[in-house]
Structure 1
Amino acid sequence: MLVALKGIHKVKRKLADGSTRVYHYAWRGGPKIEAKPHTEAFALEYAKLKALATPKIVETLETLIDRFTGPEEKRNPDFLALADTTQTDHLYAFRLIKEKWPKLPVRLTQQKGMKAEIRKWHRSFAANPRKADKLLFSLSKVFSYAVADELIDKNPCTGIERLYNGSRRESVWSQEQIKAFRAGAPAHLLLAFEMALHTGQRQGDLLVLSWKDYDGIYLQFRQSKGGKRLKVRVHSTLKAMLDPLDKDKLRILLNSRKRPWTKDGFKTSWGKECSRLKIGAVTFHDLRGTFITERAREGSSVENIAKISGHSISEIKSVLEKHYLADDQDASDAVILRMERNP
């Protein structure tokens, strides 16, 4: 039984001998169907013509990016699971990537030569190696996501070496810098400083703390990266600063106008204050590494530091071995001093 076909355009024409013939077209203005109407061959020819006329959707690098992020009005849950700063970094990178390779078919990303093209693009930002590596990371993330969804077979970014080789070994806050900040910083910035130094938490996670997260003994954190929940006992020095404060505001950390901090606002104020105090070569984030380093110097185990900071054990070891303690003169001196005490 043949199903009635919709959209067929019929045209009657009078022939030279006076007879009339009906011609069938796949659609108005479309190609003529040669097969006899009401037959299986007619239906097959019609289907073939429709298929040929349907525009093929060509997957491009842009569509891979859009699959990863989702539309602006309804983001992909996997993308939303990333930290806000990571999302911002990715979106900035994707804008540059789309400008570099507009409408690049996905099939070309899988062919020989694409890795060399990406490597050349990556190195074009060599003047700012950290930016270059962030852009490469974002592009690699898109390809990895597509590989996981079985849309492509390989990630052409694999094997491209990063340009930035720096570390934070020289960027742990010294005791002199800590004393200088404590002596000269205004109260609203000093509180943020002490909270970072005594908890080892990220700037973003500290700025969103509310008074309901503090019970007088512990601070409760939900880390923005990974969503890990932490309960950190408040050091007596920090407790002495927190307890006298008014609890009528939602946030614990406020700016000089008693308003919640914005990310950019805090970054700007922090930078200006460090410049005023002539404290250079260290950042707010380095207080996190300083916390890890100081707790290790005090004799805390890697496992216990990890429980407080929210890092994995392997991450703590990496920080201590590769970055923060690699040039720790005090730690190396202690080895010799212990030898002298035990002849």
Structure 2
Amino acid sequence: MKYLDKIGFYHYYRRGGKRWPLKGEPGSRGFLEDWRIAEAEYLGTTPFGVKESFNEIADRYLVSPEFNDLGAGTQKNYRVYIKQLRRDFGPSPIGDIKRKHIRAYRDGIAERKGAANQSVRVMMALMAWAIDADLIEINPAANIKELKGSEYLPWPDPLIERFFKEAPKELVWAFAVGLFSGQRKGDVLKAKWKDIEDGTIHFVQQKTGAEVWVPILPELETILKSIPRRSLHILTTKTGRVWTKSNFDSTFKRCLDDLGIGEYVFHGLRKNFLEMAAEAGGTNAEMKSWSGHTSNTMVDHYIKRADRKRLANAMKAKVLKSAK
């Protein structure tokens, strides 16, 4: 191999009277990356995909067709996390970012498990794009295990009843639409009266762009009839203004803190909805048509959980019968 030099156990790229150390065995990924860097430094060029920084790759990803194909909500979320990732990885050459570095970043914010896990997901998406763009060969964020306990909790029935009784009515209205439609908070707040037709509410989900028509359950119908029409939007503040995300989030959080149930969040109602649908015998396709999920994984989880619950109750009945 031209310009390769070996001294003892170590390999070097030697050229023009200079020498650059090379890691690993000849032909290995680390060896080839070091070779490309050394050659580029000698020639005064930048090795494509090795010395380009995280910031440069992130900039390219954010204007890529793949990023633009994501839903508006997902794009906004990714931008937030990429901005945070830049603080630690910004100037680092993309080829130098290893699995251990991403794990260290995740562990550094482990007290916020949801943010830690989402950071890894966003990094994995960005690195996957870099692979497709022939910038790197291996995704260092792939298969990093998520921290446990970061899932949104479904609301227990007693807390749901308490919220309906004690929370301000404007929040109860939003809570009910979320609980009985299974939609995300942003989609719930954007719902308009004109979206109600033929016993359904029509949603166009911000995250995925999916259109769903959610049948209005009797419980939700009762709530909707109690809401005054103060705007084109179904849900408003007590002054009749359309909720902004920040205003709703702060108001909802204050309410939860006042009630002493701050560990629960609005998105947990989506899980309540899936549990109710599964326990009612909903099929995977039926539940996805309501929730807008595109993957079977999450929906199957609730169906299997409901099946286990039904089997447990059936077994309980048999045990009680045999004990008589």
The alpha-carbon deviation at position 279 of structure 1 amounts to 3.5
For 1:139 and 1:176, how far apart are their aligned partners in 2? 39
What CA deviation, in whole Å up to 9, does each residue of 1:252-292 have, x standing for no partner? 11112211111121111112222333335322111111111
2:149 to 166, 174, 184: 166
> Alpha carbons of 1:69 and 1:316: their partners in 2 closer, same or farther (altered >3 Å)?
same
Query: Are 1:157 and 2:141 counterparts?
Result: yes
Q: Which amino acid aligns with 2:79?
A: L
For 2:205 and 2:149, how far apart are their aligned partners in 1? 26
Q: Which residue of 1 aligns with 2:276?
A: 294
> Alpha carbons of 1:326 and 1:101: their partners in 2 closer, same or farther (altered >3 Å)?
farther
Q: Which residue of 1 aligns with 2:316?
A: 336
Contact 1:119–1:160 under 8 Å retained in 2: yes
Q: Which residue of 2 aligns with 1:8?
A: none
Contact 2:54–2:92 under 8 Å retained in 1: yes
Contact 2:54–2:91 under 8 Å retained in 1: yes
Normalised TM-score (structure 1): 0.70
| Pairwise CA RMSD | 3.1
1:91 to 53, 75, 79: 79
For 1:120 and 1:260, how far apart are their aligned partners in 2? 42
Long gaps (5+) in structure 2: 1-42
Contact 1:220–1:230 under 8 Å retained in 2: yes
1:256 to 235, 238, 242: 238
> Alpha carbons of 1:115 and 1:56: their partners in 2 closer, same or farther (altered >3 Å)?
closer
The alpha-carbon deviation at position 168 of structure 1 amounts to 4.8
What CA deviation, in whole Å up to 9, does each residue of 1:21-75 have, x standing for no partner? xxxxxxxxxxxxxxxxxxxxxxxxxxxxxxx8999986322111011112xxxxx
> Alpha carbons of 1:56 and 1:146: their partners in 2 closer, same or farther (altered >3 Å)?
closer
Q: Which residue of 1 aligns with 2:121?
A: 137
Q: Which residue of 2 aligns with 1:82?
A: 70
Long gaps (5+) in structure 1: 1-51, 71-75
Q: Which amino acid aligns with 1:100?
A: D
The alpha-carbon deviation at position 309 of structure 1 amounts to 1.6
Identity of aligned residues (%): 26
What CA deviation, in whole Å up to 9, does each residue of 1:88-121 have, x standing for no partner? 4322332333332343333444xxxx22333333
Contact 2:99–2:141 under 8 Å retained in 1: yes
- 1:197-216 equivalences under 5 Å are 197-215=179-197
Q: Which amino acid aligns with 1:337?
A: A
Q: Which residue of 1 aligns with 2:130?
A: 146
Q: Which residue of 2 aligns with 1:176?
A: 158
Q: Which residue of 1 aligns with 2:39?
A: none
Contact 1:297–1:331 under 8 Å retained in 2: no
For 2:262 and 2:82, how far apart are their aligned partners in 1? 32
The alpha-carbon deviation at position 204 of structure 1 amounts to 1.0
Q: Which has the larger share of helix? A: 2
Query: Are 1:63 and 2:56 counterparts?
Result: yes
The alpha-carbon deviation at position 157 of structure 1 amounts to 1.7
Contact 2:167–2:255 under 8 Å retained in 1: yes
Contact 1:89–1:134 under 8 Å retained in 2: no
SS at 2:144's partner residue? coil
Aligned residues between the structures:
278
Contact 1:216–1:243 under 8 Å retained in 2: no
Query: Are 1:101 and 2:84 counterparts?
Result: no
> Alpha carbons of 1:159 and 1:258: their partners in 2 closer, same or farther (altered >3 Å)?
same
For 1:77 and 1:263, how far apart are their aligned partners in 2? 27
Q: Which has the larger radius of gyration?
A: 1
- 1:189-228 equivalences under 5 Å are 189-215=171-197, 217-228=199-210
